[in-house]
Structure 1
Amino acid sequence: MLKSSDDPPKSGLSRRGFLTGVGAGAAALTLTPAEALAKVVTTQAGGLATSPDRFGRIFNISPFADFNAPTLRQALMSMGRPGGVIDALDPLQEGPIRLITNPELSPNNLDNAAQTAGITFLGQFIDHDLTFDETSPLGVPTAPEQSPNTRTPGLDLDTVYGGGPTADPQYYNPSDPAKFRLESGGRFEDLPRLPNRKAIIPDPRNDENLMISGMHAAFLLFHNRVVDHLRASGQTGNVFEAARQQVRWHYQWIIVREFLPLIIGQTVVNDIMANGRRFYRPAAGEQFIPVEFQGAAYRFGHSQVRPSYRANLAGNADNTPFFGFIFDPAGQGQTDPVDLRGQARAPRRFIGWQTFFDFGDGEVRTNKRIDTKISTPLFNLPLIAIPSGDAPTALPQRNLLRHITWSMPSGQNIARAVGVPALESQHFPELQQFGHGLPASTPLWYYVLKEAEVLAGGTRLAGVGARIVGEVFIGLLQLDATSYLRTNPSWRPTLPRRTGGTGDFRMVDLLTFARVDPASRGQ
């Protein structure tokens, strides 16, 4: 059974060896922990308000490189290029099925036995709930505080609800506005769509691949079932608002009790909950999304995407499984694409969730490890997967250029500010070829991936990555006057579990309650 672990598995470098190896770098630290808090944490994070509809910073640290250097942009483009040091070099010619059934074909792209494949897309769904940058130019230094975040910076499912049935009636069932509108893709549920197949949902990114559109549809059904549940129990008054609160709180519970322990470790979750946030400390009621989170640390999930997936067990016309690459250029322009891109409708385009979450039937599959190797299909994104619709189409290149956009500090300097051992040059020999001192002053996104690889065997985040992600998630909930963690921290889930009873709630329970689970589909 897949589970979270707080202890890093064995790897080529032991934690003791790591601590010994960073001695020289740690000795160069010029800030004491007290000075780090006083000088490195920004005033925005430390207490002055950063507008919730803008991005901001946690750390007041100089950028990882000299942005005036004429060759820096090209160095980052080379670092993230197809076939380069970050490319897992998956043998795509083997086809989508063999890359799943024969993992030895991709020795650079290891499976993560601690997490199921669905955690990747739950993470993407959550990301879209928190942050959407539609205006800042890629690779051009921009002040975060002047850059709008078009999502609300809270775990409130605004990507699902929009402004509610009065403000955004197009998302809701006209004959029962307390419920969402859904349509059928032929065999099972699909998002409502325009004639051009674009989804009628608040955030178009939730239709960029089949898994994320399937998860969005599952949440629509989950809400509708909660409405039915409340009505059956005699709910009076505004049933929509009562259902929305139930859905949000159960979703937030899953994040705190299932998602976070898997991606940062239960020990870090416990430390933040018991001892408080040390670095993400915005003024009460003034949540904001820090660029260290949005532009780097929370992009760890890109490393967990598999080249291909089994979308379902019996989607094809002959009742065989539908396998596909996450993205495949051959799918461009096809009505029923061969890959798993979104913005399409066909009978086989639904998700069999037993591949993605553990229903105890032996069908679940894992995601990939958090490391510095990215699945090859992500180096050639279709334009529908890029909200701005512009080049480059290699996701790692886009992530690295985002460090220039936000004038991001190096991972090493943030590690020193946080007070954890910093990875140093010897951990990044592959970056020497790109110059600009990148092995000793590494872009934060790449640093977080390497940190997870070295300290946690790729099973979860560690050090800087775990601290940033954990504090932001928990902080957003603690600062939200409508969250269960702020309003009623002793609250326990009230909806039934698939195994019976109440008091806990996991993704398999949500999918079962929404009736998109294997049993409801006769699988």
Structure 2
Amino acid sequence: MTRHGALYQDIVPYTSRYYDKGKFGRMFANLPAFAQDSPKVREALKDIGKKGGIMDAKDDLAKPPAELITNADLQVNNPNAPVMTAGMTFLGQFIDHDVTFDPTSSLERQIDPEFVENFRTPTLALDNVYGSGPGASPHLYDASDGQGIKFLIEPLGLKGKENIEKFDLPRNTQNTALIGDPRNDENLIVSQLHLLFLRFHNVLVDAVRVKYPSKNPGEVFREAQELVRWHYQWLLLHEFLPQLCGEQVVNDVLNNGRKFYSWHNAPYIPVEFSVAAYRFGHSQVRPSYRANFGITSAPNPAPFFATIFDFNADHHSPDPNDLRGGKRAPRRFIDWHTFFNLGDGSTRPNKLIDTKLSSPLFQLLGFAGGDVISLASRNLLRQLTFSLPSGQRVAHAMRMKPLEDDVFEDLKGYKVNFEKSTPLWFYILKEAEVQHMGIRLGDVGARIITEVFVGLLEGDNSSFLTQNPFWKPCLDCWEPYRTGKHFTIADLVRIAEGKVSIKL
């Protein structure tokens, strides 16, 4: 199973402002690092992010997973968010895997982002789903019909809520998922989200065939692929970003342009985005989830509740009592009613964006003895490894008022000046907490993320924003009370799972 929080190779940093396609780079190349690398600074970062430390929500993992969801007394240090649903956390993870992939790893020395290869094309084009297409990645596609333009999926032979037939990703004999990005099998939820996009593509292939019976298989594939990509880009721009960053910020960037993210030849991925701002989602992860409501096609269906990761679970078990990926078993499927608003009142929220992370994330799976296994500590060490500027410096560079020192009171005891020169990731989490009560990102975080995503769409000649900025989704919204509203992830779920028939 791919490890969460794997890091990067190291080379002494440069600070130029222009980058080649496929590289990571810097938005604020002229700003100094938030701290000099020293044993004292490293130990402080590890301590801030350690299990039981100031970032640990201290969830009582001895309690049953269902009780962590239903008992408000167990959520005092880790409150729910009132707006974003639990599934948006994993949609965010899926989007991240679409634009960035670097298989190298190190915690030690400083890195020049320009020399860290991004093995994912920096576009929102679903490279993580399509691979290199049917010709170069035939193992992803189903050749049983002689055309090989639909994705392979594996029926589980059972039904979940609403009698929806359930599937799994295709796997080899060792349960390794045959998909375009191994990270999308890291946990059950993102694994099943990847599956949703496979099924969405397959539905659209069938719809294109009906509308254009004379098109050859290659033409059908390209038409369906464009529809999938554009609907995905639309929901990112019109649902995900407004909820996360605020409509005002999104509209300002769309209408008045980007101010801080630019490139010379082609878009790149800024480390201020990938290593700091876009790691907001780690704060939204719940300690446990209701994966499904049980196998409804079997007698006495029982819901499957589990923690996101259980460090003590038997990793050799074919069906461990957590939501790790890389496993196939009858109960390991997702009913999306918990994760997105499908209209039946079953939806659960994610956690607030703040400086607390759910406790399972402080003991990551799959790392060797002696490795730092706390996700928070690993994220903080990344700030040093990549020589990222402080949140205060970035706020000044953006002509924004930085947070006051006193909001970082819990950092003063480390005596390394973090209250005045705060690691960017920690600053962005605190900013959301202070400015918007953790409901959405604050000034710096929202601006970085919005500018990068809008920039990636504007820099991609095949995106809907470049090809046809007035395009709107051609697939109807399934919810009758939302007539005239925009296409959302809930619509994609209903279409992919066959609850809504479509006609192009």
Does the alignment reach a TM-score above 0.5?
yes
Q: Give unmatched runs, 5+ long, in structure 1.
A: 1-41
Structure 2: distance between partners of 1:274 and 1:390: 49
**CA deviation vs aligned residue, 1:48-83 (integer Å, no higher than 9, x gap):** 4x112110000020000011x231111111111000
Q: 1:247 aligns with which of 228, 231, 236?
A: 228
Offset at 1:104?
2.1
**CA deviation vs aligned residue, 1:459-494 (integer Å, no higher than 9, x gap):** 000111001001000010011000000110000111
AA at the equivalent of 1:281: S
Determine the structure 1 residue equivalent to 2:195.
Answer: 217
Alpha-carbon distance change, 145 to 136 in structure 1, aligned in 2, over 3 angstroms: farther
AA at the equivalent of 1:371: D
Offset at 1:332?
2.2
Contact between 1:160 and 1:216, CA under 8 Å: does it hold in 2? yes
How do 1:170-181 residues align onto structure 2 when only pairs under 5 Å count?
Answer: 170-175=139-144, 176-181=147-152
Structure 2: distance between partners of 1:172 and 1:322: 30
Determine the structure 1 residue equivalent to 2:255.
Answer: 274
Alpha-carbon distance change, 396 to 162 in structure 1, aligned in 2, over 3 angstroms: same
Alpha-carbon distance change, 102 to 428 in structure 1, aligned in 2, over 3 angstroms: same
Alpha-carbon distance change, 133 to 434 in structure 1, aligned in 2, over 3 angstroms: farther
Offset at 1:320?
1.3
Determine the structure 2 residue equivalent to 1:15.
Answer: none
Is 1:508 the counterpart of 2:454? The answer is no
AA at the equivalent of 1:195: T
Alpha-carbon distance change, 463 to 473 in structure 1, aligned in 2, over 3 angstroms: same
Q: 1:498 aligns with which of 454, 475, 478?
A: 478
SS at match of 1:420: coil
Contact between 2:22 and 2:117, CA under 8 Å: does it hold in 1? yes
Offset at 1:136?
4.7
How do 1:66-465 residues align onto structure 2 when only pairs under 5 Å count?
Answer: 66-67=36-37, 69-175=38-144, 176-187=147-158, 188-235=166-213, 236-237=215-216, 238-283=219-264, 286-315=266-295, 318-328=300-310, 329-383=312-366, 391-465=371-445
**CA deviation vs aligned residue, 1:177-227 (integer Å, no higher than 9, x gap):** 110011123422000001111101121110010000000001000000000
AA at the equivalent of 2:477: R
SS at match of 2:39: coil
Structure 2: distance between partners of 1:461 and 1:483: 26
**CA deviation vs aligned residue, 1:80-139 (integer Å, no higher than 9, x gap):** 100000000001111201000013212110100111001000000000001112225224
Structure 1: distance between partners of 2:227 and 2:388: 38
Offset at 1:331?
4.2
Structure 2: distance between partners of 1:112 and 1:502: 27
SS at match of 2:65: coil
Contact between 2:287 and 2:308, CA under 8 Å: does it hold in 1? yes
> How many residue pairs align between the two structures?
469
Contact between 1:218 and 1:516, CA under 8 Å: does it hold in 2? no
Alpha-carbon distance change, 198 to 357 in structure 1, aligned in 2, over 3 angstroms: same
Structure 1: distance between partners of 2:272 and 2:301: 45
Structure 2: distance between partners of 1:218 and 1:233: 23
Offset at 1:247?
0.3
AA at the equivalent of 2:101: F
Contact between 1:315 and 1:350, CA under 8 Å: does it hold in 2? no
SS at match of 1:296: helix
Determine the structure 2 residue equivalent to 1:8.
Answer: none
Contact between 1:494 and 1:502, CA under 8 Å: does it hold in 2? no
Determine the structure 1 residue equivalent to 2:458.
Answer: 478
Contact between 1:327 and 1:381, CA under 8 Å: does it hold in 2? yes
SS at match of 1:330: coil
Structure 1: distance between partners of 2:396 and 2:72: 37
Structure 2: distance between partners of 1:115 and 1:250: 20
**CA deviation vs aligned residue, 1:299-350 (integer Å, no higher than 9, x gap):** 0000000000000112496301100000012242211111011000011111
Contact between 1:96 and 1:323, CA under 8 Å: does it hold in 2? yes
Determine the structure 2 residue equivalent to 1:57.
Answer: 26
Alpha-carbon distance change, 483 to 503 in structure 1, aligned in 2, over 3 angstroms: farther
Structure 1: distance between partners of 2:107 and 2:181: 20
AA at the equivalent of 1:364: T
Offset at 1:497?
2.2
Contact between 1:494 and 1:503, CA under 8 Å: does it hold in 2? no
Offset at 1:424?
2.8
Offset at 1:252?
0.1
SS at match of 2:357: coil
Q: Give unmatched runs, 5+ long, in structure 2.
A: 1-14, 159-165
SS at match of 1:115: strand
AA at the equivalent of 2:322: D
Alpha-carbon distance change, 288 to 428 in structure 1, aligned in 2, over 3 angstroms: same
Determine the structure 2 residue equivalent to 1:28.
Answer: none
Structure 1: distance between partners of 2:72 and 2:143: 48
Determine the structure 1 residue equivalent to 2:163.
Answer: none
Offset at 1:495?
1.8
SS at match of 2:27: coil
- CA-based RMSD of the aligned residues comes to 1.8
Alpha-carbon distance change, 134 to 279 in structure 1, aligned in 2, over 3 angstroms: same
AA at the equivalent of 2:229: R
Contact between 2:249 and 2:450, CA under 8 Å: does it hold in 1? yes
**CA deviation vs aligned residue, 1:348-406 (integer Å, no higher than 9, x gap):** 111000000001111000000000000000001111xx7x9982111001101111221
